[in-house]
Structure 1
Amino acid sequence: MTTDTTTETLPVRVARLRDAFEATEAEAVFSEVLAGLNDGTIRAATRDEDGRWHVHAWVKEAILLGFRLGRLEDFSTGPFAFFDKHTYPPKSLRPEDGVRVVPGGSAIRTGAYVAPGVVCMPPMYVNVGAYVDAGTMIDSHALVGSCAQIGRRVHLSAAVQIGGVLEPVGALPVIVEDDVFIGGGCGLYEGCLVRERAVLAPGVTLTRSTRIYDLVRERIHTARHGVLEVPAGAVVVPGSRPAAGTFAATYGLALYTPVIVKYRDEKTDAATTLESALRERTG
């Protein structure tokens, strides 16, 4: 007896294919999910009205399905050799898409959504499943990893690394909300959620195991349910704290730790706030 798939939702079809793989149906389902990822109607994670983010594991499963279906294909251009799964070619953009990609070695993989008004400075890379909203700047040598969710008017400065999170499928991808400023060389990896209008000074590195010391509110921010959250409007700079033990004390050793030194005022932009915070910190 055959299964009637005409009334099944995409999540149900993806889940069934995970357990009972059938190539023809898998290709159709994958193509439908890929189209939704490309136009932004399907996302790996979404925020509800209460500000809570929810992972859509079935979307990640569909992306992984694409790797399973893919065969190696030659995407070489001139003297540059590129070989990848045929299911994940470079994303095709047109002038009417409103995305500015400056020449010089950048790439956006199919299955990523890049909204009108986004500016991509060379070289940069956006991976499959990522969502980059309107007005965001992706500067040189920046990476937006798989399934990362980047909000409106975000500035990803040079050499920023936004880690990808495909597996485990239930894990929250890296999320950066609206109007966030990420300074040069920052790294945000698995389990990080940066709330709106936060500012990260150059060199800040965050993972879900990181502790953030809040000098303003006198508290320590740690991961809850596997997610490290940077509060809205927080200005975070690289700091240090003494390492424990006699040996560390003898040699004056310290450990890296990010520190919240202030919160953004509604009337100040990110650059002004960051400059002020760094000036106060260095004295």
Structure 2
Amino acid sequence: MTTTLESAIDDLWHRYDDGLTADDATDADRALLDEFLDELEAGAVRAATRTGDSLDSWAANEWVKRGVLLNFGLRGTERREYGGVGYYDVLPLRDTDDLEANGARNTPDGTVMRRGAHLGADAIMMSPSFVNVGAYVGDGTLVDSCDTVGSCAQVGDDVKLGANTLVGGVLEPVEDAPVVIEEGVSLGAGCRVTSGFRVGADSVVGENTLLTPRIPVYDLVEEEVVYGHLPRERRAFTRFVESSVSDHDLFEGGAYKPAVVATSVEEETLEATRREGALRE
């Protein structure tokens, strides 16, 4: 099934690259795009997959990201309605009739999933929150109030996204892996994870921490500086380190830049995370 769908999406992408427009697209083309979105929602296809045990083994599925882009390139903007309010978009919102069967919950007045978003079994979405097209939210994961999960982002099982957390999306270029949050991660309120950053399993990230490839992670466990990922089983928080322009005349008292410090996950931190999980069961 997936191989056949991949081949069909690739063929449609070549036609689109050769000049196919939304006006030229056939009913069969649109049916293919709908089938593709159905498979994304079911979790049968994903925008990125892990090919090995390391954090570096996450790779983008380029054909999946092309399929998402085709849904924008070969559809027109339409007037739609949500909660009695009209809006204009290319994609409708996702049907949520399947949530009861898999034990997922979404609270009223502002939990929004765009077509093509996957929400796993026993997952919870608190309002207001938003999960974009192509995103994968794993089983038992909590998407708290004011959270955004960006297009094609991959969020694992039993993750906690604290209130007002942003998990960024990476849709283009298609060869770039999106943001990845592995299983068992807890992100504190106000965290931002962007630009394809990867957060290793069972890590706990402090409130208001920015994780992006441009900010160094000082891993005190392995005593090394890494970029673009937080190793697994770490406790991470923001600190400020001296900047290279710290002695500039305009910066009286020194200039500093953000850095992330990563230590081992303390037992009491793990225990608090387990209590959090118990409250959601």
TM-score bracket for the superposition, by shorter chain length = 0.7 to 0.9
Q: Which residue of 2 aligns with 1:250?
A: 252
Q: Which residue of 2 aligns with 1:93?
A: 96
Q: Which residue of 1 aligns with 2:29?
A: 26
Alignment of 1:241-280 (within 5 A): 241-245=241-245, 246-247=247-248, 250-260=252-262, 262-264=263-265, 269=270, 271=272
For residue 236 of structure 1, report the CA deviation from its aligned partner.
0.7
Question: Does the 8 Å CA contact 2:155/2:181 hold for their aligned counterparts?
Answer: yes
Q: Which residue of 2 aligns with 1:3?
A: none
Alpha-carbon distance between aligned partners in 1 of 2:6 and 2:210, rounded to the nearest angstrom: 42
Letter in 1 for 2:257: L
Deviations 1:179-200 (A, max 9, x none): 0000110100012011100111
Alpha-carbon distance between aligned partners in 1 of 2:80 and 2:13, rounded to the nearest angstrom: 31
For residue 96 of structure 1, report the CA deviation from its aligned partner.
1.8
Root-mean-square deviation (Å):
2.3
Which of 190, 196, 209 in structure 2 is aligned with 1:185? Answer: 190
Q: Which residue of 2 aligns with 1:12?
A: 10
For residue 268 of structure 1, report the CA deviation from its aligned partner.
5.5
Q: TM-score if structure 1 supplies the norm length? A: 0.85
For residue 79 of structure 1, report the CA deviation from its aligned partner.
5.0
Q: TM-score if structure 2 supplies the norm length? A: 0.85
Give secondary structure in 2 for the equivalent of 1:111. coil
Deviations 1:184-234 (A, max 9, x none): 101000120111001110011011222111233321112xxxxx1110011
Distance 1:160 1:256, change over 3 A: same
Distance 1:48 1:77, change over 3 A: closer
Q: Which residue of 2 aligns with 1:276?
A: none
Distance 1:250 1:189, change over 3 A: same
Alignment of 1:95-174 (within 5 A): 95-174=100-179
Letter in 2 for 1:19: D
Alpha-carbon distance between aligned partners in 2 of 1:28 and 1:190, rounded to the nearest angstrom: 32
1:234 maps onto 2:234 in alignment: yes
Distance 1:29 1:270, change over 3 A: farther
Alpha-carbon distance between aligned partners in 2 of 1:97 and 1:130, rounded to the nearest angstrom: 18
Alpha-carbon distance between aligned partners in 2 of 1:18 and 1:75, rounded to the nearest angstrom: 26
Identity %: 34
